[in-house]
Amino acid sequence: MTRSPDADHVGAATMAAGPGWPVVLHHDGLVLRPLRSRDAGQWTRLRAVNRDWTGPWDSTLPADSRETPLDFGQLVRRYRRAGREGSTFGWALALDETGRTSARALMNAPIIGQITVAGVTYGAAQQASIGYWIDKGHAGRGYTPRGVAMAADFCFGVVGLHRLEICIRPENGPSHRVVAKLGWRYEGLRQRYLHINGDWRDHDVYVRTAEERPANGELHRLLTRSLSPDWQPD
């Protein structure tokens, strides 16, 4: 098993593979693993039962879009191709309660959500955007900020990106609490930025640059802050 460059620090996620895609990250039972075709039933059920919970924040296609909605198989193939290209890293957020860290156990961990690093650009920009959703039954337990921190540490420490952003609708209270736990800087309002739930919506933009990244990494900072008496999961 190889480890990320930050894995010598307390609170760093462990990589279960080398830096090339597919990449599996795990820390204390929380797993970021690629979606697979065999996840179709589980993923579809999870999305269905959480429709009211995630629907107001889900991306949609404008009426004049040249694209069509992807089915699950197409989504998996797109993520696989984009992961190999380094343009998108699409992970299932999964929970392994077996205590095992074998590749099989990690890849079979039940899905509780999703974390996606999209729009990865290199050259003079070196940036990307992080999006996420979690099953309502698992919300409020600290899984989302921990998963985002793991993904961010991978992007900064392994991919070598300079800037990450998280864009959130102003009305999305739970998602704002996630970035509050992470301590990312508020950059401002981006008007009519993304097509969400049927229309173009404004988004609050939160940013972390490599210069602002905590010395021991995002996950270490998050776990250290969680020891504070006034800490609340998410």
- Domain 14-225 -> CATH class: alpha beta
Both structure tokens of 45: 């059920």
Both structure tokens of 36: 């697979």
CB contact at 8 A, 197 and 220: no
| Cβ-based neighbours of 229, under 8 Å, separated by 6 or more | none
Instruction: Give burial (CB, 10 Å; 0-12/13-18/19+) of 150.
Output: buried
pLDDT attached to residue 105: 85
pLDDT attached to residue 10: 35
Instruction: Give burial (CB, 10 Å; 0-12/13-18/19+) of 60.
Output: middle
Tens digit of each residue's pLDDT (9 = 90 or more) over 41-77: 999 999 999 999 998 898 888 888 888 888 999 999 9
Tens digit of each residue's pLDDT (9 = 90 or more) over 158-177: 999 999 999 999 999 999 99
Chain-centroid distance of CA 141 in Å reads: 16
Both structure tokens of 96: 């392994």
Low-confidence stretches of the chain (pLDDT < 70) are 1-19, 226-234
Integer CA distances (angstroms), 149 to 24, 49, 68, in order: 14, 26, 32
pLDDT attached to residue 1: 26
First-to-last C-alpha distance (Å) of the chain: 31
